[in-house]
């Protein structure tokens, strides 16, 4: 995935200046299909971090600690 600044640059070059996808892709060293995808995207949606309900080790933590104490 490209950084927000790169996406803004692609959208500016293609939509406002009128550069071709291939020209922008060559300058940025990315695939022209990626340039097309981001240039035609209506609005940029940021991914939100996933919040976990519990820590990964919580269900097995008591048994693993007691098992280590026996050693």
pTM over 0.75: no
pLDDT surpasses 90 at 63? no
Instruction: For the chain, give the mean pLDDT.
Output: 83
Which has the closest alpha carbon to 15: 50, 52, 41, 34?
41
Q: What is the DSSP letter of 7?
A: H
Pick the residue with more confidence: 20 or 45? Answer: 20
Most confident of 47-51, 57-61, 63-67: 47-51
Which has the closest alpha carbon to 39: 71, 70, 9, 1?
9
pLDDT in tens, 9-42: 999 999 999 999 999 999 999 999 999 999 998 7
The domain spans of the chain are 1-43
pLDDT surpasses 80 at 2? yes
């Amino acid at each position: 995935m490209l950084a927000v600044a790169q996406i803004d640059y692609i959208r500016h070059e293609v939509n406002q200046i009128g550069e071709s996808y291939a020209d922008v892709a060559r300058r940025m060293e990315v695939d022209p299909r990626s340039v097309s995808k981001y240039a035609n995207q209506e609005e940029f949606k940021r991914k939100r971090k996933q919040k976990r309900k519990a820590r990964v080790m919580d269900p097995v933590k008591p048994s693993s600690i007691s098992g280590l104490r026996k050693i």
